[in-house]
């Protein structure tokens, strides 16, 4: 009921708040004998770390992952894996003047209504920092998938209205926005600087591609692959829309344009985004997430305090201008978790003539 657990066979439970002692995850159901070490988790966490670009918060967390259990001699043992990250750079003082105020666009008001109490320091569990635990879990899912030659990668499709015009995955790691278009990355940087000067924030779109996913993953009817991907991505703070394949564009197409013709050598197009009837078809899975602008902004806005009195707020803490690019690796982690889970679920029912 409390909603901190995700997945069926590859099952994660995350815990922790933005300014508490730390955050972490317990992964239950990870198969044994998968190579895993702290380095693999750390390299994913480094992509989520603040301060990498102009769009990021100046909060400088080392975000050091510690594997507490479930790994021996660099290999998973099949027992629960617990990963912990300490909060070392939390500064709650900037939040003190706002302790009684609800930030427009943030979860302050809904947490207060729901629980009658909230950890106002850095947004508590509604903070983007909560995604540290997801990324750590995603690194383990990726290690499992890597063994099966399934590769999942994310990139920035759009930031503040600037959309990529060329596509080269080789340059994604060569610019701070994870853009596959270097020219667009430069324009994104200029846009972020401009927005930062205004004390405002911007959103964007992240795309995730999964390659090498076998056909047959996904459980109709309620646990369809696309349904589970949508839930996984929508569960990330600031994600407001999810598209699979042609997505919303499919609504404008005719059937003859939208169907992916089938040949003996495979599909001739991929409007389905690699999923038909909730089951993977062997083609690349293509999914996009729409990310809203960061709610905490310097520009003054109307709000109320906890007693319902009208107030204004200008949020001074350390905040991102955009959740992009840091959210890229979070989306990649969530897609990895869903595919790892369905991979194990399919393996559990696989019918083998020799058995």
Ligand X SMILES: Cc1cc2nc3c(=O)[nH]c(=O)nc-3n(C[C@H](O)[C@H](O)[C@H](O)COP(=O)(O)O)c2cc1C
Single out the residue of 19, 326, 342, 345 in contact with ligand X (rule: CB under 6 A). 326
Angle at alpha carbon of residue 341, lines to 339 and 344, rounded to 5°: 105
One symbol per residue from 218 to 257: x for binding ligand X (CB under 6 A), - otherwise; what is it?
------------------xxx-------------------
Between 244 and 323, name the residue whose CB sits nearer to ligand X. 323
Between 59 and 345, name the residue whose CB sits nearer to ligand X. 59
| Backbone CA torsion sign across 305, 236, 170, 203 | negative
Residue 271 neighbours by CB under 8 Å, 6+ apart: 245, 246, 250, 253, 257, 258, 259, 260
The candidate with the shortest Cα–Cα distance to 54, out of 295, 320, 290, is 320
Q: Using CA atoms, how far apart are residues 329 and 312, in angstroms rounded to an integer?
A: 34
Q: Using CA atoms, how far apart are residues 132 and 35, in angstroms rounded to an integer?
A: 21
3-state class (DSSP) for residue 65: strand
Contact 208, 154 (CB under 8 A): yes
Smallest distance from ligand X to CB 328, Å: 9
Single out the residue of 142, 319, 342, 345 in contact with ligand X (rule: CB under 6 A). 319
Residues 16-35 touching ligand X, rule: CB under 6 A, are none
Residues 276-315 touching ligand X, rule: CB under 6 A, are 292, 294-296
Task: Supply 113's token pair.
Answer: 């209504």
Residues 113-142 touching ligand X, rule: CB under 6 A, are 126-128, 131
Between 42 and 76, name the residue whose CB sits nearer to ligand X. 42
Burial class (CB in 10 A: 0-12, 13-18, 19+), 9: middle
Smallest distance from ligand X to CB 55, Å: 10
Between 147 and 240, name the residue whose CB sits nearer to ligand X. 240
Between 121 and 326, name the residue whose CB sits nearer to ligand X. 326
Task: Supply 303's token pair.
Answer: 């709000």
Between 34 and 335, name the residue whose CB sits nearer to ligand X. 335
Taking CB under 6 A as the rule, does residue 203 contact ligand X?
Answer: no
Single out the residue of 13, 57, 175, 336 in contact with ligand X (rule: CB under 6 A). 57
Residues 327-346 touching ligand X, rule: CB under 6 A, are 327, 330
Give the ranges where 181-298 is alpha helix by DSSP (H).
182-198, 225-234, 255-258
Q: Which residue is nearest to ligand X (CB)?
A: 128
Smallest distance from ligand X to CB 339, Å: 20
Q: For ligand X, which stretch binds (CB under 6 A), given 86-94, 156-164, 322-330, 342-350?
A: 322-330
8-state DSSP, 239:
E
Residues 122/127/132/135 CA torsion (nearest 10 deg): -160
**Before 325, cis peptide (omega within 30)?**
yes
Q: Using CA atoms, how far apart are residues 133 and 15, in angstroms rounded to an integer?
A: 7
Smallest distance from ligand X to CB 234, Å: 8
Q: How many residues bind ligand X (CB under 6 A)?
A: 20
Tell me which residues touch ligand X (CB under 6 A).
Answer: 57, 106-107, 126-128, 131, 236-238, 292, 294-296, 319-320, 323, 326-327, 330
């Amino acid at each position: 009921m409390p909603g901190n657990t995700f997945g069926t066979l590859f099952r994660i439970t995350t815990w922790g708040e933005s300014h508490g002692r730390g955050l972490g995850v317990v992964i239950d159901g990870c198969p044994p004998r998968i190579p895993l070490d702290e380095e693999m988790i750390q390299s994913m966490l480094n992509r989520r770390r603040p301060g990498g670009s102009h769009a990021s918060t100046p909060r400088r967390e080392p975000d050091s992952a510690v594997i507490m259990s479930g790994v021996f001699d660099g290999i998973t043992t099949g027992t629960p894996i617990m990963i912990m990250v300490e909060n070392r750079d939390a500064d709650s003082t900037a939040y003190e003047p706002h302790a009684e105020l609800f930030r427009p666009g943030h979860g302050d008001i809904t947490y207060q209504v729901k629980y009658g109490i909230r950890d106002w320091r850095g947004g508590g569990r509604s903070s983007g920092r909560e995604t540290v635990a997801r990324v750590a879990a995603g690194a383990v899912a990726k290690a499992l998938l890597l063994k099966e030659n399934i590769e999942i990668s994310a990139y920035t499709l759009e930031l503040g209205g600037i959309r990529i015009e060329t596509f080269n995955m080789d340059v994604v790691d060569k610019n701070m926005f994870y853009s596959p278009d270097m020219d667009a990355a430069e324009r994104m940087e200029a846009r972020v600087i401009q927005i930062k000067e205004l004390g405002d924030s911007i959103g964007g779109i992240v795309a995730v591609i999964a390659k090498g996913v076998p056909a047959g993953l996904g459980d109709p009817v309620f646990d369809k692959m696309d349904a589970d991907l949508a839930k996984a991505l929508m569960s990330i703070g600031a994600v407001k829309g999810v598209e699979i394949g042609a997505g919303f564009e499919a609504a404008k197409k005719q059937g003859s344009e939208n169907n992916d013709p089938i040949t003996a050598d495979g599909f001739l197009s991929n409007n389905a985004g690699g999923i038909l009837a909730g089951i993977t078809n062997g083609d690349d899975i293509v999914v996009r997430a729409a990310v809203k602008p960061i709610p905490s902004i310097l520009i003054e806005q109307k709000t109320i305090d906890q007693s319902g009195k009208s107030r204004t707020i200008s949020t001074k803490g350390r905040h991102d201008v955009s959740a992009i690019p840091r959210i890229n690796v979070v989306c990649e982690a969530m897609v990895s978790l869903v595919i790892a889970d369905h991979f194990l679920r399919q393996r559990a029912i696989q019918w083998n003539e020799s058995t």
